[in-house]
Homo-oligomer: A and B are copies of this chain.
Amino acid sequence: MDEITFAVLGTGGIGRRALEVSQHKDHLTPVAACDRHGTAIDFDGFDVDELLAATEGNIDSEPRDDGVATDGGTGATPADGEGGVKQHGEDRGVVASEQARSSADPIQDIIDHGDGIDAVLLALPNYEHDFIPRTADRFVEGGYSGVMIDVLKRSRVIDMLDDRSDAFEDAGITFVCGAGATPGLLTGAAALAAQSFVEVESVDIWWGVGLKSGYEDNRGTVREDIAHLPEYDIETARDLSEAEIEAIIDDHDGVIEFEDMEHADDVLLERAGICAAEDVSVGGILDVHSDEKPTTTTVSVTGRTFDGETATNTFQLGDETSMEANVNGPALGYLRAGVRRNRAGEYGVVGPAELMPGF
């Protein structure tokens, strides 16, 4: 495998963990990271430990629409106007790292250095449907060519990215969408499990997440999950204060069950030709009062074989694997697969299932 350099947009829970996991990977060098306040760029590769230590607690679950979400700071309510970011000396967010400097336009910094960056991981919460697509637009306009990859969850965002397919083709961008745990690892598992069948009848994805100690680092994810509850949607969840989110969690005694979530697995499996989007269901249980998973994450793919049998293939994640492990390993795995495609001249939008054997 050739050397791969990558940038992380957002230094919150996902961005920081991606940097950490990348230290375990050969030939994968993080060379740029940014949040709303600043940028770190070093083509010799970061001192990841320093950057992680300096930005510890860099979580902001509040939505932003000023280019790049900070993912920095905790505890602020939207009424603050400015996300509370962990203070380190005079600087905030990624700028707390000695490898970073403050910037008026961090995303432009990354784009300006795009020639040296093989892949850009968009580790941004996507409160507004078009936030990640709009960020992609900036990279297209800025002349970037290479891989862009996100871990988004919402089905409808895929269509917005698809609308940009021609622009990505022209720019030489391979956009890998929905490449975390689910969608991502579990979507790929479903695509692989489908290989026994000539027709897939249903794909059921059922996840369990225990997020006690990881809660502080993953407030944005919890907010996104709440948006999947029947009583909420993206807009109303976006407007919730931290206190209101805590109240919702308390109402559920810390354990929230989700059914029929709008999760991009459905459209990603359909576009790979595995099954119709409506045959995919996603649900799960989130427990923020325990690190034990409340249920075993399981993908069940039921189909019909060429010889007329109906059967169910299953993929299960060990209960000891954290959400962070199941998001960031696959994200970097799909990033590599995307770079390989990009270097072979394959541009446009691809989902995880399309990086599997054809169905």
Q: Which residues of A contact B (CB under 8 A)?
A: 1, 17, 20-21, 24-26, 185, 188-189, 192-193, 195-199, 273, 302, 305-307, 309-322, 324-326, 328-330, 332-337, 340-341, 344-346, 352, 355-359
Given the contacts A21-B306, A358-B337, A313 and B316 also touching, CB distance less than 8 Å: yes
How many copies of this chain does one complex carry?
2
Q: Which 9 A-B pairs have the closest CB atoms?
A: A336-B358, A311-B318, A333-B357, A344-B344, A24-B198, A311-B320, A305-B325, A309-B320, A195-B329
Nearest B residue (CB) for A332 = B358
Given contacts A192-B192, A195-B185, A336-B357, contact A329 B316 (CB under 8 A): no
A309 contacts B333, C-beta separation under 8 Å: no
Pick the contact of A318 from B21, B192, B313, B328 — CB < 8 Å?
A: B313
By the criterion CB–CB under 8 Å, are B316 and A314 in contact?
yes
For the complex, give the distance between the alpha carbons of A329 and B344 in Å.
26
- List residues of chain B with CB within 8 A of the CB of A317: 196, 311, 313
Q: Which residue in chain B gives the minimum CB-CB distance to A319?
A: B311
Kindly provide the distance from the CB of A91 to the nearest chain B CB, expressed in whole angstroms.
Answer: 27
The answer to whether A322 touches B305 (Cβ under 8 A) is: yes
Q: How far is the CA of A21 from the CA of B305 in the complex (A)?
A: 9
A185-B189 in contact given A17-B306, A306-B329, A319-B311 (Cβ < 8 Å): no
Within the complex, what minimum Cβ distance (angstroms) separates A207 from chain B?
A: 13
Main SS of the interface on chain A?
mixed
With a CB–CB cut-off of 8 A, which chain B residues contact A310?
Answer: 320
Is A305's CB under 8 angstroms from B333's CB?
no
Looking across the interface, which residue of chain B has its beta carbon closest to that of A24?
A: B198
Contact A192 B197 (CB under 8 A): no
Q: How far is the CA of A321 from the CA of B330 in the complex (A)?
A: 28
Q: Is the CB of B333 within 8 A of A320?
A: no
Contact A358 B329 (CB under 8 A): no
Please tell me if the beta carbons of A199 and B359 are within 8 angstroms of each other in the complex: no
- A189 touching B346, Cβ below 8 Å: no
A309 and B325 CA atoms in complex are apart in Å by 10
Chain B residues near A328: list those with CB within 8 A.
Answer: 306
Are A330's CB and B357's CB within 8 A?
A: yes
What are 26 A-B interface contacts by the 8 Å CB criterion? A21-B306, A188-B192, A189-B193, A192-B315, A195-B330, A196-B318, A196-B326, A197-B321, A305-B320, A305-B321, A305-B322, A305-B325, A306-B328, A306-B329, A307-B322, A309-B325, A310-B320, A311-B319, A312-B318, A313-B315, A313-B317, A313-B318, A315-B315, A333-B359, A334-B357, A336-B358
